[in-house]
Chains A and B, each alone.
Chain A
Amino acid sequence: MLVEIHLAALALYGLSAVLALAPFAGLPLSGRWTLGVASLGAAIHAVGVAQLSLVGLGPALSVLAWCLMLLQIGSELLLRAGTVALFTAPLAGGLVGLALLLGLAPGAQPSAGRNMWFILHVTLSVLGLALLALAFISAALYLLQFRELKAKRFGQVFQLFPPLERLDRLNHVALVAGFPALTVGVLLALGYAIRYAGGMRADPAQLVWGSFTWVVLGWTVWVRVVRHWAGRRAAFASIAGFAAVVLVYVALKLAQPGTARFL
């Protein structure tokens, strides 16, 4: 049943991506269709996420995909930035597909998946990561729209992408919300390790990547909030930060293969 639910979510996320692309192919489809299909997909996916034991890479990717879709829906409803679906919907679909390939069964420490500290740790950490991804996506859209506006090209990007300041605002909100989520997620991991797992025995790669991600997200928030970076400079910072997080993950993954744990 869990697999079928994920397959349904995958199909709806794929359809949502196609609907988001339709206006670029000249089909005058309302954004409501994308929103509706994405919402249906996220609702079905929620049923699957509720049944997951949040241990292992497959379940973590599934939760990440679900968080991304929730953020896509939130972006459309709160900031009318539905164009993020161009990135979030295929990314979420890809993550669900990958989760299905890796398997949704819990990996090591399956009992941890029933502990509330652990569930909150995974959920908040993944949410922080999804918000960092959303900041990356909004930054990429910002730079595309910026380039079109500067070059005085009034094509589909100009017409269909959200305004620059709205994308900048979305980037700001994503980073400012993502940092505390990830911070609390990391603190919960520490608390869980001390209280339930018999001390700090985390995997070194997990520690390195978790800490690195937290530092990168902290830096992007610091330059935006404290140094008042905005616009193109802030967009470049978000893209660089997200790229660094992904590259470090890939490097660690290559150095330490295996899918039993998150890393």
Chain B
Amino acid sequence: MSITVLGVNHRTAPLEVRERFAHAAHEVPGALARVLDAGASGGVLLSTCNRTEFYLAEPHAGVPDVVWALLGERLSGERSVQQYGYVERDRDAVRHLYRVSAGLDSMVLGESQIQGQVRDAWETSRPQAGPVLHRLFQSALLVGARVRTETRLGTGTASVPSAAVAVASKIFGELAGRAALILGAGDMAELAASCLVAEGARVTLVANRTYERARAIAEQLGARALTLDEAWPHFAEADIVLCSTAAPHAVVTWERVAPAIASRGGRPLCILDLAVPRDVDAAVGQLENVFLYDVDDLQAVAGQAAAHRRGEVPAAEGIVNEEVERFWSWYGGLAVVPTLKAFRETLDTLRALELERAQRRFQHLSPEDREQLDLFSKALLNKFLHHPTVALKAATDRGRGYALLEALKELFGLERGDAS
């Protein structure tokens, strides 16, 4: 009986590798089926942009090899999956999942998106999860919620895209229905745009130096594509402008956008310049009701929150440890009854064998004496079993039963069936 997690994450593998290991929801049942066929009573696959992890209940010895082989199929060249991977077992595996769910293992400390991803992974894997992992993932979600409620680990905005959303929210309040204009086709702008869209903002226009690239992104976001030169008059209508071009100098200049901004009638305009080097001339930020922020500004917002969050880590780790013990207590209790039953059956079989052997030697005994001998052997066995049974149950109640159970199985060969 054990729980194991195998996988890769942002600390052990570069983005290029993590991308290859990412599983879409429809790929999860097939991948888990292969792993379960190799011998595990349950499995959950958690796949996000920062991690791909297989959580397995009671895996046989060969199962990790199947997981690595499955991931290895996605890796090109001569590279070994295991150089990027890690394995955690039992308590450490439980602690790992709880830390993931709480955001303690995230690239952005305390980010809350991971909790939804853990929930999605559990939902997707549910038919193959089995009772132990079902309970484990349920408790992981509760641990994540508890950490976010009882500590301030999740407060503030600790990434540049989320800082961009926070800054825009401080200007507009609700972002629902706000019109966003994207200049350039950089990854950061695309990420920040998706954060804005998640808050209800509408990306109405995407402008880029090359029209084709603008159109590709515009189609994804349901927006209209423009060339950069066509974009300047639209500063009159947009509420938020996200800039992320690869231009080596400022493309948004006072001369280009001041006339459009003057026609806004005092409505605020939030310009988020995510490009390095910067896309927006600093003079644009001096215009009335224009709020201009570059990457350094947004990192300052994110940095404040991250520093604050780091102070909450000990409290969050304390909650995780407490919950690991609670889960392990339940898990140990789950195993104690069948193990004790097997222990008793094994010793009773031995008793019966030895009694039969003794009775063959003592043919002269009357039926009454034989019965007395049988009762004596049973009483002796009960005396022998009493203390270990009580101690094991007590240890389980204290959350320390698992080690004793393992020792019992090992000493009496309970799983191998070779006690005799």
Which residues in A have some Cβ–Cβ distance to B below 8 Å?
Answer: 28, 145, 149-150, 152, 154, 158-159, 162-166, 169, 228-234
Contacts and interface: CB of A to CB of B under 8 A. Distances in A.
Contact of A165 (B172, B265, B300, B301): B172
The 9 closest A-B pairs by CB, nearest first: A163-B173, A166-B173, A231-B266, A230-B266, A165-B173, A154-B301, A152-B297, A165-B172, A164-B171
Contacts of A233: 266
Contacts of B172: 163-165
Contacts of A165: 171-173, 268
Contact of B265 (A154, A164, A228): A228
Contact of B152 (A28, A154, A158): A28
Contacts of A149: 167, 170-171, 291
19 contacts: A28-B152, A149-B170, A150-B291, A152-B297, A154-B304, A159-B156, A163-B169, A163-B172, A164-B171, A164-B172, A164-B268, A165-B172, A165-B173, A169-B173, A228-B266, A230-B265, A230-B266, A232-B266, A234-B266
A147 to B, nearest CB: 11
A232 B288 contact: yes
Contacts of B300: 152, 154
B267 A163 contact: no
B66 to A, nearest CB: 48
Interface size class of B (residues with CB under 8 A): 20 to 34
B138 to A, nearest CB: 28
Contacts, number: 49
A231 B171 CA distance: 11
B170 A145 contact: yes
Contacts of B304: 154
A145 B167 CA distance: 12
B170 A164 contact: yes
Q: Which of B167, B266, B297, B304: most chain A Cβ within 10 A? A: B266
A163 B170 contact: yes
B50 interface: no
B311 to A, nearest CB: 12
Nearest to B289: A231
Interface in B35-56: none
A149 B169 CA distance: 11
Q: Which of A154, A164, A165, A230: most chain B Cβ within 10 A? A: A154
B171 A232 contact: no
Q: Which of B169, B267, B268, B291: most chain A Cβ within 10 A? A: B268
Given A149-B171, A154-B300, A154-B304, 4 more contacts: A152-B300, A154-B301, A164-B170, A231-B266
A231 B266 CA distance: 6
Nearest to B288: A232
A104 to B, nearest CB: 40
B293 interface: yes
